Structure 1
Amino acid sequence: MTADHAGLPPRGPPVSDELTLRRELVAQGAKLAVSGLSQGTSGNLSARCGEGFLITPSGTPYEDIAPEGVVVVDRDGHWPAGQRPSSEWRFHRDIYLARPDAQAIVHVHPPYATALAMCRQDIPPAHYMIAVGGGDSVRCAAYHTYGTQALSDAVVTALEDRLACLMANHGMIALGSSLAQAMWRAVEVENLARQYALARQVGTPVLLTDDEVTAVLEKFAHYGLMSRS
């Protein structure tokens, strides 16, 4: 931890609201391995909290995270002394600053999405569920070392007008209006990646046209978990 991160109490909502978010982060984190989205201590979850956000701690198995172990980080990248947020806290902070619509972020390393990311490939509109990512593709952000400002900038760019992206040679990010929605979106993007990878083994996937994707995006706009709101 650098000196400018130590001992600065981040701002946040009333304790009751913060405690609810902390408990939800713990509960959703416990689902990562079961869902196949991440293994061990990989990946991280966060939720907007007041003017900052709550994020899972660094290097702690999800089953060992207690609500009080979730770290609060303010918009300037400060957190309380004695705690250590995920090493990827920076892109969480920058996404929240750039995207007022994002209330929760899930970053994971599932096998198929990560395999495509290792090939530095976008997911194209080969299935109508591409709409879960908010557009006609799930872009792959450029590669940069984890935890750096360069990676954060690349992720924010890849997420422009999108709700999910891949990260070259790394993993995947999904946004949501809630933690439940962000987790759902991450599962759906991984399913898209799996289907696309399998289709390429069978033949050449036929991509949807712009008009076809637009029609699906319009239908998804107010449909349950798929809605941005």
Structure 2
Amino acid sequence: MQDSELELRRAVIETAREMNRRGINVNKSGNVSARFGAGFLITPTGIPYERLEPADVVYVDLETGAAHGPRLPSSEWEMHAEAYRTRPDAGAVAHCHSCFATALACQNMPIPAFHYMVAAAGGDSIEVAPYETFGTRALALAAARALEKRNACLLEHHGSLALGATLDKALALLVEVENLARQYVTVRSLGEPRIIPADEMARVVEKFRTYGRQPEEKK
């Protein structure tokens, strides 16, 4: 195993652990992956994150779907695979069952443009992919459709999903989606949410294409 692969395996594990430390995930739910070579590295199924070692992280070939290593990949490996196929710019994918985002997903409630930070997900709303059984290709395809023009989505009766150029960016967006979901639930308790006009959100979405980036950074 080359140093670069070992480092990425460790980063996948650290990102999964960080989801739990930040309180957006509980126990073994959720999963994390990073694009590598002709496929991706993903957390295995059924093993607590704190027990993971680099060799436990599974390599999945993106063309064939074949898994390599001593462990089985996450049950949602196909959802990650379809995200990478749909979005060649994605370098990492993170999925969790955070409280507020999942609550909205269970009610099939997208997050509209009540706050300009919704644009961080790549559009003027954060949509809900329709429910499909977990671990199925049907769910993978539903999630991929929701990510065609967005960097994050909610999964009906399930949780949330985000992608990014790097593991850090995918995790940061997943955390932001949960924060927005919590804010949106709070705003709804105060009355009908006031929505930012579409033309203004279009400007904000465009500004987010380069927001917070230093010259040497990727999106």
Give the TM interval when normalised to the shorter protein. over 0.9
1:99 aligned to 2:87?
A: yes
**Partner of 1:24 in structure 2?**
11
- 1:185-227: CA deviations, max 9, x gaps? 0000000000000100111110111111112112221122699
Which letter does structure 2 place at the counterpart of 1:103?
Answer: G
Q: Is the 8 A contact 2:40 2:59 kept in 1?
A: yes
- C-alpha distance in 1 between matches for 2:139 and 2:47: 22
CA RMSD of aligned residues (A): 1.5
Q: Which residue of 1 aligns with 2:204?
A: 216
- Judge conservation of contact 1:176–1:228 (CA < 8 Å) in 2: no
Q: Deviations over 1:58-79 (max 9, x none)?
A: 0111111111111101011111
Which residue in the other structure is 1:87 paired with?
75
**What is the CA-CA distance between 1:176 and the residue it aligns to?**
0.4
- Secondary structure (helix, strand or coil) at the match of 1:47 reads strand
Contact 2:119 2:205 in 1 (8 A): yes
Q: Name the CA distance, whole Å, in 2 between partners of 1:53 and 1:34.
A: 24
Describe how 1:22-171 pairs up with structure 2 within 5 A. Answer: 22-75=9-62, 76-80=64-68, 82-171=70-159
User: Matched residue of 1:224: which SS?
Assistant: coil
Gaps of 5+ in 1: 1-13
- Residues 1:176 and 2:164 aligned together: yes
Aligned length: 216
Q: TM-score if structure 1 supplies the norm length?
A: 0.91
Cα distance in 1 between the residues matched to 2:108 and 2:156: 5
- What's 1:9 paired with? none
Alpha-carbon distance in 2 for matches of 1:224, 1:21: 24
Distance 1:51 1:134, change over 3 A: same
Q: CA deviation at 1:80?
A: 2.4
Note the C-alpha offset of 1:28.
1.2
CA distance in 2 between partners of 1:37 and 1:228 (Å): 25
CA deviation string 1:105-125 (max 9, x = no partner): 000000000000000111111
